[in-house]
Structure 1
């Protein structure tokens, strides 16, 4: 299974596979047609509290990743992770300006385990 992480603002590519938006909010200024999102599992996004904590200042990405993994261990999230794994090749889409230091990278790693 191949899992990619890309910005949702980048144009879709044939090798994207299933396109999964992993942000809680719809990306600003992007139409649904342009985004071509196949799945949008909002329950897999970081909680509002965790998101606010991480963006409140100089916070450790490693600590954010640890806390996010703990949230994903909840039964509902674990079920959704299994459902996503069953989809096969996919691209996780985020509006984050730094996808490599976002929740999408943590989620991609967990999906590949």
Structure 2
């Protein structure tokens, strides 16, 4: 879903540099917080069934799909506490 992709600026800054991954995840989460409409479907799908994230990065641990997964899981956890 292109609507939840990190901005071009953020992707270029990150450049798949593992050292930048924690800061990339933080900045990406900030971007996602402002994309409430775009993350509606993945959040609903994650609550009610399986959500599959597909990515093409070579590094399977340090990429935007992992950052998105962590973001969505944190939002699901927040909702469970409410």
Higher radius of gyration, 1 or 2: 1
Aligned to 1:64: 24
Give structure 1 regions of 4+ aligned residues with deviation exceeding 4 angstroms. Answer: 56-59
Q: CA 1:108 to 1:63, structure 2 compared with 1: closer, same or farther past 3 Å?
A: same
Q: Deviations over 1:21-74 (max 9, x none)?
A: xxxxxxxxxxxxxxxxxxxx2010011111111118675111111111111111
Higher helix proportion, which one?
2
Gaps of 5+ in 2: 75-82
Higher strand proportion, which one?
1
Gaps of 5+ in 1: 1-40
Deviation at 1:84, TM superposition (A): 1.3
TM (norm. structure 1) is 0.56
Structure ranking higher on relative contact order (CA contacts 8 Å, 6+ apart): 1
Residue 57 of structure 2 contacts residue 63 of structure 2 at CA under 8 Å; is this kept in 1? yes
TM (norm. structure 2) is 0.74
Question: What is the total number of aligned residue pairs between the two structures?
Answer: 71
Deviation at 1:110, TM superposition (A): 1.6
